[in-house]
Amino acid sequence: MRVILQRVSRASVLVNSNIIGSINNGLLVLVGFSDTDTSKEIDYIVDKIINLRVFNDNMGLMNKCLKDVGGSILSVSQFTLYADTSHGRRPSYIKALNGDQAIILYNEFNKKIKEAGIKLETGIFGANMQVSSINDGPVSIIIEKENKNGEK
């Protein structure tokens, strides 16, 4: 599982010119799944995202987590996070989980964020989305958790 999180002062996602999700002060989280991901990887990533200290304290140091600042998450599925560009000029997505299975994990990921008490907005899985954000800092972090055993 791979995510890119960006600390944002504001972010939104549009589908067919309609805003379907927007947040202020929080994290824009781009989420991708590989063909070996399970609930274990989701649990690890969710815990990491909501407890990662990437927000400034009163001294200007990144010592606060999402919960500390009452921040929100805008979750956007993005299979292209598993693009392999090592050969040729067209990315291969062979390691990305197929859509029928990925939507199940994406919904589980979002459910676990909500269960943690975080305000959540989302894009629409598989839709053509226009994502806008104002990156605060800027702060952008890649988090990965690989299922090394390939166990489902």
pLDDT tens digits, one per residue of 97-111: 999 999 999 999 999
Instruction: Specify the CATH number for the domain of residue 115.
Output: 3.50.80.10
Mean pLDDT score of the chain, rounded to an integer?
Answer: 95
Range of the domain at 20: 2-144
Terminal alpha carbon distance of the chain:
13
Predicted confidence (pLDDT) per residue in 121-142, tens digit: 999 999 999 999 999 999 999 9
The pLDDT, as a whole number, for residue 24 is 97
Note whether residue 138 is domain-resident: yes
Distance CA 18, CA 14 (A): 5
Number of H helices, E strands in the chain: 3, 7
Note whether residue 80 is domain-resident: yes
> Counting beta carbons within 10 angstroms of the beta carbon of residue 16, is it exposed (0 to 12), middle (13 to 18) or buried (19 or more)?
exposed
Note whether residue 151 is domain-resident: no
pTM, two decimal places:
0.93
The pLDDT, as a whole number, for residue 135 is 96
> Residue 152 pLDDT > 70, yes or no?
no
Q: Which of 38, 80, 85, 122 is catalytic?
A: 80
Number of domains in the chain: 1
The pLDDT, as a whole number, for residue 151 is 57
110: which 2 tokens?
């979002």
Note whether residue 105 is domain-resident: yes
Active site residue 85: no
The pLDDT, as a whole number, for residue 147 is 83
The amino acid that residue 63 corresponds to is N
